Amino acid sequence: MTIRVVLADDQPLVRTALDMVITDATDVEVVGEAADGAEAVRLTTELAPDVVVMDIRMPGMDGIEATRRITTGTDVTRVVVLTTFDDDEYVYGALHAGASGFLVKAMALDDILTAIRTVATGDALIAPNVTRRLITEFVNRPTPTPPPQARQAQPTGITDREREVLTLVGKGLSNTEIAHELSISVATAKTYMTRLLAKLHARDRVQLVILAYETGLVTAPQ
């Protein structure tokens, strides 16, 4: 099945570069291009793509607001945000708005294509090392993150083992690492992930990471 993609970036050269590498793939196609967030929302409504590759900084409606509107309006389309990670302080906000992960513009184009495939399958683009770096940089920033006293209560309705798994997810461990840490099989770790997503009404792994921090199960390194 072909993965249908909308590219949203105010830089034509970025869209062109992404379009070129996607055109060479047999399982991915670009069905629309947007130069700002409002256009991305409109195209998503009209075309119902599988994935929107969303730049954060765009004129008019930015990528965060566009992501929020897209993920609120549909369960079909996944959003991955584009960022120049080292100097972009809006990544956490975009993930909190419902994005399934983020791409770094400096990534090789083939890696970006792989990332699109990953998100399209329903997984989240959040490699363990990236998770740790992301949380360290952004989760305790005052703008996107509530102060400790305003944090949500710890999640209820999950077992002690599921809470352990959620904590490890928040620390950035992969399913394989969780399995090793808890002396369980990878298949069992995946089963716990599936249960957590259902019980906590989380869209994907990214939202579980955010939940683990916002409820205080995990705290960001100081």
Q: Is the pLDDT of residue 204 over 80?
A: no
Residue 102 pairs with which residues in a beta bridge?
Answer: 81
Q: Is the pLDDT of residue 156 over 80?
A: no
Find which of 20-24, 88-92, 159-163 is predicted with most confidence, using mean pLDDT: 159-163
pLDDT tens by residue, 37-95: 999 999 999 999 999 999 988 889 999 999 999 998 777 899 988 777 554 566 667 77
Q: Distance between CA atoms of 112 and 120, rounded to whole angstroms?
A: 12
Q: What average pLDDT does the chain have?
A: 81
Residues 38 and 20: beta-carbon distance below 8 Å:
no
Q: For the chain, which domains are there?
A: 3-125 (3.40.50.2300), 127-222 (3.40.50.2300)
DSSP per-residue string spanning 79-121: EEEEE-GGG-TTHHHHHHTT--BEEETTS-HHHHHHHHHHHHT
List, edge to edge, every strand of the sheet that includes 28-34: 28-34, 3-8, 51-55, 78-83, 102-104
Q: What is the mean pLDDT of residues 122-130?
A: 58
Q: Is the pLDDT of residue 122 over 90?
A: no
Q: Is the pLDDT of residue 125 over 70?
A: no
Q: What is the pLDDT of residue 90?
A: 67
Q: Distance between CA atoms of 210 and 89, rounded to whole angstroms?
A: 16
Q: How many helices (H) and strands (E) does the chain have?
A: 10, 5
pLDDT tens by residue, 131-144: 555 655 555 555 44
Q: Distance between CA atoms of 165 and 148, rounded to whole angstroms?
A: 22
Q: What is the pLDDT of residue 17?
A: 87
